[in-house]
Amino acid sequence: MVKPAPTCAGQGGRQGADTPAGPGHTFAAAASGVIRTIGRRAHSSTRPGYAATTGTGTTVRTQPVPRTRRGVRVNAPVVVVTGASAGIGRATAGRFAAEGARVALLARGSSGLDAAARDVEAAGGRALPLPTDVADYAAVAAAADRVEAEWGPIDVWVNSAFTSVFAPFTEITAEEYRRVTEVTYLGSVHGVMVALARMRPRGRGTIVQVGSALGARAIPLQSAYCGAKHAVNGFLEAVRVELMHEGSDVHVTIVQSPAVNTPQFSWVRSRLPKRPQPVPPIYQPKVVAETVAFAAAHPQRKQYWVGASTVGTILGQRIAPAVLDRYLARTGFASQQTDADEIDRPDNLWQPLDGPDGHDFGAHGDFDARAHRHSPQAWLARCAESVAGAVHRTKR
């Protein structure tokens, strides 16, 4: 059976404030070849049951059709997602599951993990929830061992776990700063260490880091988080070049995200007078998750930027950082706070709020009414990458 290679279909569904008109697309159309592409790298492209891309850009599926167990492909790629109990990590797990992947879910909170596992199974994937604090290297390594013992080699590792403190720098304690750094920065380091220890000997695999525009341009009131995200960019740049020097087929890429409607604003430690909020414009977690899945299938690119605000922030910092300094000094405090007074509430800095006696926070936060469901910029970037890849394959 021969069918056209995946194309850049328009974004369909209900048109939102940040959505271009176009023919039908939803979750899988723009990156419908994600799992096939990962599978081709993870296994032989001519092995029965796998898709292969010809020089003309068409996709040929060899026979027989892949075996399934309980409706899930036996040879489906193995994906690990940290921070999978909520927010971007939760949405990313669901995105891979929608393509039939086997998804290992790493996070601290048991209620959120259990709910995320149900989401993965309902979406058509297989789930393996593993309670893990990414700040603990031994725990991350043990989780990876469990994944490979049950499912075989890990094909994709996604780092999404983080934590933060919303407060002026002078009001953050040394212990709080250390904790944010251990989770957000060292948690990513641990994930990359563990993934590379398994991928490098095999000569294949992909690591996708969920980054942030704040890793390129810091803002007030989030110095610990911004510092950690800057560090993530720095160490991954070094790792990526080292892999290039080796000629390795293990790839590392970063998805730089905008402000996202996640539950963190309900559980983050905050010393602000008003309740914290993401800096508008706000995007839904699915917008970032779609790009994470696409990046896993097209990891040769160093970074993917999601949202026009991310593009503006990163380019603005490169071109006119002093202008951004003055702008953020004027607007950066009020834009991170709602009109509602902050209340005395628990936070998740040291312990998860979605523990055995807690509740599932889900992927979304409290800002659905204000969040964009699509990003034309991210969609166009994926299209451009797909076209460039097709041209490259044709020339080979």
The set of catalytic residues is 225
CA–CA separation, 247 and 240 (whole Å): 11
Nearest to 8 by CA among 364, 310, 294, 200: 294
Question: DSSP per residue over 130-167, as a string?
Answer: EE--TT-HHHHHHHHHHHHHHH-S--EEEE-----EES
Residue type at position 363: A
| Buried-exposed string 69-81: b where 16+ CB fall within 10 A, e elsewhere | eeeebebbbbbbb
For the record, the structure tokens of 181 come out as 């750094």
> How many CB atoms sit inside 10 A of residue 262's CB?
31
For the record, the structure tokens of 386 come out as 């797909």
Spatial contact of 210 and 82, defined as CB atoms under 8 Å apart: no
Q: Which residues pair with 371 in a beta bridge?
A: 282
Residue type at position 66: P
Question: DSSP code of 354?
Answer: S
Spatial contact of 98 and 126, defined as CB atoms under 8 Å apart: no
Task: Count how many Cα atoms sit within 13 Å of the Cα of residue 234 in the half-sphere of its side chain.
Answer: 8
Spatial contact of 114 and 71, defined as CB atoms under 8 Å apart: no
CA–CA separation, 307 and 324 (whole Å): 18
Nearest to 98 by CA among 176, 148, 31, 156: 31
Strand 78-82 versus strand 156-159 pairing type? parallel
